[in-house]
């Protein structure tokens, strides 16, 4: 079985995880999702107050070499123990997640198209676009509800790192994407991606 890899990038709050979750719900066991977010580095060397201040929108905060290694192992038909990240602690959790080779694997994250060594492993590269105002609104709502944050911290983090790093490292990767989707709410675009994945699964019978 050949695994087809699809990279889905886009700014924070662009709807990557929601878009991907819908595909996962539709395709079930034929599709696996790997979150680049789970590859944020383990930082046991510093305490929570200092971990809070790290620039998590810079490519160096992610252990992308480990993700590349895992994708290569999956391409060779091996299972991998993927890391899991705990956003409430700003640190890697002690739990891991078993990732098995699968017909289609989506690799999702703000910076999945940033490093060539990673992006060249994808058969299809998608960039999910969204206006910055919509993204920050979604992000604020999500971070308060799911990641244990408070609005003043979200605003400070957005202005100091999220926004400038987005402009430096995320937005430019649009140019390497095969497909740019203008909104996670674009149903026609969702349908086109879904149809493509369907055809990959059908033609990829063992």
When the beta carbons of 70 and 135 are compared against ligand UZR, the nearer one is 135
- What residue 124 binds from Mg ion, ligand UZR, none (CB within 5 to 8 A, per partner kind)? none
User: Applying CB under 6 A, does 37 fall inside the site for ligand UZR?
Assistant: yes
Q: What's the closest the beta carbon of residue 85 comes to ligand UZR, in angstroms? A: 7
Q: Which of 30, 73, 161, 204 binds ligand UZR (CB under 6 A)?
A: 161
Pick the piece of the chain touching ligand UZR (CB under 6 A) from 9-17, 23-31, 182-190, 193-201: 9-17
Rule CB under 6 A: choose which of 40, 122, 124, 127 binds ligand UZR: 40
Minimum distance from residue 116 beta carbon to ligand UZR (Å): 20
Please report, in angstroms and rounded to a whole number, the separation of the first and last CA atoms in the chain: 6
Interface residues for Mg ion in 6-25 (CB under 5 A)?
17
From the list 23, 107, 22, 115, the residue with the least C-alpha distance to 61 is: 115
For residue 92, count other CB atoms closer than 10 A to its CB.
19
Question: Could you give the residue ranges of the DSSP H alpha helices within the chain?
Answer: 16-27, 48-51, 64-75, 116-119, 132-146, 151-157, 163-165, 187-203
Within 8 A by CB and 6+ apart from 102, the residues are 3, 29, 30, 31, 32
The verdict on 56 binding ligand UZR (CB under 6 A) reads yes
State yes or no: residue 87 binds ligand UZR (CB under 6 A).
Answer: yes
Q: Mapped to the 3 state alphabet, what secondary structure does 87-126 carry?
A: CCCCEEEEEEEEECCCCEEEEECCCCCCCHHHHCCCCEEE
Torsion angle (degrees, nearest 10) of CA 137, 190, 104, 73 = -30
Distance in angstroms (rounded) separating the CA atoms of residues 90 and 74: 27
CB nearer ligand UZR, residue 102 or residue 143: 143
Cβ distance to ligand UZR smaller for residue 161 or 204: 161
Q: Which of 162, 177, 181, 189 binds ligand UZR (CB under 6 A)?
A: 162
Report how far residue 187's alpha carbon sits from residue 191's, in angstroms, rounded to the nearest whole number. 6
Binding-residue total with Mg ion (CB under 5 A): 1
What are the residues binding Mg ion (CB under 5 A)? 17
Contacting residues toward ligand UZR, per CB under 6 A: 12-13, 16-17, 37, 40, 56-57, 87, 90, 110, 139, 157, 161-162
């Amino acid at each position: 079985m050949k695994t087809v890899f699809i990279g889905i990038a886009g700014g924070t709050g662009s709807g990557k995880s929601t878009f991907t979750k819908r595909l996962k719900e539709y395709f079930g066991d034929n599709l696996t999702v790997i979150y680049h977010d789970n590859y944020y580095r383990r930082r046991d060397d510093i305490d929570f107050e200092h971990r809070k201040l790290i620039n998590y929108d810079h490519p160096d905060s992610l252990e992308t070499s480990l993700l590349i290694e895992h994708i290569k192992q999956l391409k060779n038909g091996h299972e991998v123990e993927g890391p899991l990240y705990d956003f409430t602690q700003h640190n890697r959790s002690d739990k891991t997640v078993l990732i098995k080779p699968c017909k289609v694997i989506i690799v999702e994250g703000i910076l999945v198209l940033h490093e060539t060594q990673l992006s060249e492993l994808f058969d299809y590269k998608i960039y999910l676009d969204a206006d910055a105002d919509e993204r920050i609104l979604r992000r604020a709502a999500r971070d308060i509800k799911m990641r244990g944050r408070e609005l003043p911290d979200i605003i400070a983090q957005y202005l100091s790192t999220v926004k400038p790093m987005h402009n430096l490292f995320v937005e430019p990767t649009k140019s390497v994407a095969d497909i740019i989707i203008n909104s996670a709410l674009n149903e026609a675009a969702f349908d086109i991606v879904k149809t493509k994945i369907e055809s990959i699964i059908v033609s990829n019978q063992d």
